[in-house]
Amino acid sequence: MNKQIILKKRPIGLPEEDTWELQNNPLRELKEGEILIQQHYVSLDPAMRGWINDIKSYIEPVELDDVMRAGSVGKVIKTNNHQKFKEGDYVTGWGGVQQYVITDGSSWFSVNPTIAPLPLFISTLGMPGMTAYFGILEAGRIKEGDIVLVSGAAGAVGSVVGQIAKLKGCRVIGIAGGAKKCSYLIDELGFDAAIDYKAVNIYDAIKQVCPKGIDVYFDNVGGEILDAALTKLRLHARVVICGAISQYNNKETPKGPGNYLSLLVNRATMQGILVTDYVEDYGKAAIEMGRWMAQGKLKSKEDIYESIENFYETFLRLFSGDKMGKLVLKVLE
């Protein structure tokens, strides 16, 4: 039997519990060339909110009555003459929120659990880490001495963005919700400063902490924080649009930033990025980030919650902020 989270409704605003249904369905036999993967960990990502809207995006929406899409990591426990994978291999891919996956193995990659614990392959050595790496280096084009502001800074992407920018000799300011997250950024991750956006006027705080302005703003949240960051751009600044979590549960179309003419005044660029555009180079990035981790220069934090039964409550933590680092659901019983 396979416990699965099935999409049942298209929510308006913050998803309610009946958006999904937990089902326990029998597993079918493997066909020639297929593998059975027992999933250990499922990645919970803000993008999941977008994937359940029935609108045109960079990827097809999840269909009603389908398994909820999600990245995952697990172990091959059975094969039927598969060319590439054998029993006992650990793999990562788009396994969805379920305990088992039957697949032909295309778009699945081997991972080595002796190099790093499994959850890391859906965290810093997986999609969020790749987003941070290519987002800040390719779109942010950081150089030594740059002033880098990053929002969602204690999250999976933002925490890695800030650390890479520090590694490259930038001054790094993080924006996060709450004193605990702000202390974590400075004391554990080595950020130069942090802004608790829940406790201050964000316009005043950015002005105060970045008196000389911002060379790169890495935006994970959109909305008012983006608008505030635009007021402090320096000449030729780069604004990286990675995500807009503050807008994902909006019931109306989000308003664009009011201060966008700062791009004109400062001859700045604003660029959207999509991690999958860099898939060919994931291996190279993972090797470099793995080396930084081994040298103690890059830290990764995974916040792991237990059991597929708790999918909904755990998913909500993305939006309440009640978690630290990468949000992961352990589905292995």
Ligand X SMILES: NC(=O)c1ccc[n+]([C@@H]2O[C@H](COP(=O)([O-])OP(=O)(O)OC[C@H]3O[C@@H](n4cnc5c(N)ncnc54)[C@H](OP(=O)(O)O)[C@@H]3O)[C@@H](O)[C@H]2O)c1
Give the orientation angle of helix 127-134 with respect to helix 156-167, to 10 degrees: 40
What character string, x for contact with ligand X (CB under 6 A) and - otherwise, covers 245-284?
xx--------------------------xxx---------
Q: Contact 283/139 with Cβ under 8 angstroms?
A: no
Contact 271, 119 (CB under 8 A): no
Strand stretches in 202-282, DSSP E? 214-219, 233-241, 269-272
Give the whole-angstrom CA distance, residue 35 versus residue 18. 31
Binding ligand X by CB under 6 A: which of 47, 67, 172, 289? 47
Nearer to ligand X, 35 or 318 (CB): 318
Task: Say whether residue 239 binds ligand X (CB under 6 A).
Answer: no
| Residues 277, 41, 178: CA angle, nearest 5 degrees | 80
Nearer to ligand X, 6 or 47 (CB): 47
Residue range at the interface with ligand X (CB under 6 A); choices 14-22, 73-81, 229-237, 314-322: 314-322
Under 8 Å between Cβ of 173 and 194: yes
Binding-site size, ligand X (CB under 6 A): 31
Between 39 and 246, whose beta carbon lies closer to ligand X?
246
Among 93, 105, 119, 128, binds ligand X (CB under 6 A): 128
Q: Is 74 in the site for ligand X (CB under 6 A)?
A: no
Cα-Cα-Cα-Cα dihedral sign, residues 70, 72, 77, 82: positive
Tell me the Ramachandran region of residue 121: left when phi exceeds 0, alpha when psi lies from -120 to 50, beta otherwise: alpha
Per CB under 6 A, 221 contacts ligand X: yes
CB nearer to ligand X: give 216 or 327.
327
- Per DSSP, helices labelled H in the chain are 47-51, 127-134, 156-167, 179-183, 202-209, 223-230, 261-265, 282-294, 311-320
**CB 104 → ligand X: shortest distance, Å?**
25
| Shortest Å distance, C-beta 278 to ligand X | 9
* Residue 134 identity: F
Q: Restricting to residues 99-118, which ones interact with ligand X according to CB under 6 A? A: none
What residues make contact with ligand X under the rule CB under 6 A?
Answer: 45-47, 128, 131, 152, 154-158, 176-178, 181, 220-221, 242-246, 273-275, 318-319, 321, 323, 326-327
